[in-house]
Structures are given as structure tokens and as C-alpha cells.
Amino acid sequence: MRSILDGVRICLAGSLAVAPALLFAQAPPAPIRVAIVGLAHGHVEGFLAALPQHGDVKLVGIAEADTALWTKYGKKYSLPDTLFYKSMGNMIERCHPQAILVYTSIGEHRHAIEIAAQYGLAAMVEKPLTISLEDALAIRRAAREHRIQVLVNYETTWYASNKAAYDEVAERRIGEIRRMVIHDGHQGPKEIGVPPEFLSWLTDPAQNGAGALYDFGCYGADLATWMMHGETPESVTAVVNHDKPQLYPHVDDDATIVLKYPRAQAVIQPSWNWPFSRKDMEVYGATGYAITVGPDKLRLRYEHDADERTTTAPSLGGPQKSSLDYLAAVLRGQLAPKGDLTALDTNVIVMQILDAARESAREGRTIRLAKVAE
């Protein structure tokens, strides 16, 4: 009997010793510490609105020189004054974030990323990556030298419909891609009432790179590069219109970009002249097509179908649900971004395309491309 009791005591003692370790192993990871750099980009509102529902991310600081924007966003989103700093460097040294989220003008992305790199911090910027291929290559150098992640956030990355269209090609249901037609844009930034601090740099080519050509052309360039598995197009041809010079005297408000690949074409149609907001993509393969409709619908037709059908795309899960889920997965080493819509390698090619499109429109000629040196 004594030996049995001793055995029970040993088992209980062992269980009690193991229990804390099991509890510790099952504890959720600490939230990712992030800081905002800049409040001039209207997309910051999407982040601030989503933050209370996202326990995986903690906002620890905001760097913004314009104190009027502190008041505006602090009041609207109940942000304490202690979050705000005028200097990015001062904010980083005091708040110790793991990553910065950049909501400046596009022209300031390179500067913000280079500062973040000196501190060894990851950076996620709003689309596009920057305003030129030269800046994109400088960002890549900084990322490699300091071994940081640089990510680019596009709304369309988190569309289940785009992933479903990609899968139609990957699983050979519509055959090899022959043509893509990608539409993005809205009625115009002034028409939809973007805030003045956003409008001022959107309509300044030195800060936005161009008008609709960059603002919405980047979506199409990103999707096309992803669908073509990082292939650089052979050439880029672009035309731009100034249909509303009274509203946008310094930048284009409508554009068409044609990308030529060896066996496919992509036609990108960014515009501030659509009668409504749209972000959709048509993918035509050798044996069928997939057309996205909003974030989660897909129109499909295969070669022997009498009619097309509409389906709902499977919801995206895990790190693909949102930019914050993705960022958290990258920082925790659960995901290595390469070749996807957010990755730096993809977005260097995006900038090569946009840079060439701007040059093509300005000079009225087709620009031939070569693969950017690694």
C-alpha cells in the first residue's frame, strides 16, 4: 500500500510541477508595439478605428510635427496627449516600438524608413512604396544593410476575391494568363472630401509622384506583379489625361498603363474620374476567366461553360486577414514576406513600373524594361 501511495504522491508532484510550464506555454504572445509616423495620410483613420478591436497590436507613440493634427485625431479617437511627439527619433527612443506605421506623404517614405532602419525597426507604409525607382532601391539597400522588414499596405491585399482569382490560375482552372485588366479609383479626392492635409500632398507631384497614375496605378502594378510571380514586364506604355484641370492643375486625374509580358498583357486603368469607387480585376486565361467583384465575389467562366457563374470567395484567415495580422506574423517570425503583395521585392518592381509609366506618359513613347539588379 505504501508503495502505491508514494507513486500517487510522485505523480501529483510531477503534475503540479508541469502545470505552470503548460500554462506559460499557452499564454498568448505580448502585443506588437507599433508607432505611427505622420498623420497627413487619411488612411490612418482606418488603423485608428480598427485598433481597439485588435489586441495583437499596441500603439505606443505618434510622431507628427503638426500639433493641429494631434488635436484632431486625439479628440476623435480618445488618444492621450502622452502618445504624441514632434520628432520621430525622440518618439522611437522614448517609446521603443517594434515597428513604425508610416502615414506621411509618399514622398517622405524613404526618409522615414531610413530613420527606422538606423534603429533596427520594421516599417509598414501605405501604398505605393515611394515616388521613384531610385528611392525604392535606396529603401532596399537600407533594409538589407540593417536587416529590417519593409512592407507596403494595399487595401486590395486583404480582398478574398483577389486570392481566389490567383488560385484559379495557380490551380490551372482558367489556364495560363493571357490578359489582365485592373480598374481602381473613385470620383476624385476632392470630390469624395478627403481632408485638406491629405489633399494638399495628393495633388503635389513632388509628394505623390503623380496623380491618379500613382495613387491608383500602384494597385494594378502590385496585383499584376503578384499574378505574374514577380516577372518584370518587357515594356510599359502609359497615357494620362487632365480631364479636370480646374481641380487638379498639377497632376493627372486619369491614366491607362499597358504592361507587355512575353505571353501576356496587363492593362491598368487608374482614375479619379470613375462615377463611383471601384477596385476590381479581370484575369483572362487560355481556358477561362475570373473577374473579381468587390472584396469577396468572383465571376467565373470556363471554356465549356454556357454561362458564367458568381461565387463567394473563401474568407482569408490567419495573417492574411488584415495588415495588422500580417505585420504581427512577420515580426514574430511566423511569416517571411517574399513575392507577395506586401513584400519589398514585389514593390521594387511596382516602382519600376510606375516610374516607367510616368516617363512614358511624359515622353509619349514605350519604355522598355530590364530586370532590376538584385
> Would you say domain 32-153 falls under CATH 3.40.50.20?
no
The answer on pLDDT for 173 being more than 50 is yes
Q: Could you tell me the pTM of the whole model?
A: 0.92
| CA 241/CA 274 separation, integer angstroms | 13
pLDDT in tens, 186-216: 999 999 999 999 999 999 999 999 999 999 9
Residues in CB range of 358: below 8 A, 6 or more apart? 209, 210, 213, 214, 238
| CA 172/CA 204 separation, integer angstroms | 43
**Domain boundaries of the chain, sorted by first residue:** 32-153, 156-321+334-368
Confidence class of residue 27 from pLDDT cuts 50, 70 and 90?
A: confident
Q: Is the peptide bond before 249 cis (omega within 30 degrees of 0)?
A: no
Percent of the residues in the chain that have a pLDDT greater than 70, as a whole number: 93
48-57, 89-98, 271-280, 345-354: lowest mean pLDDT where? Answer: 48-57
Confidence class of residue 26 from pLDDT cuts 50, 70 and 90?
A: low
Distances (CA, A) of 77 to 44, 49, 72, 318: 11, 8, 9, 27
Domain 156-321+334-368 sits in CATH at 3.30.360.10
| CA 101/CA 113 separation, integer angstroms | 10
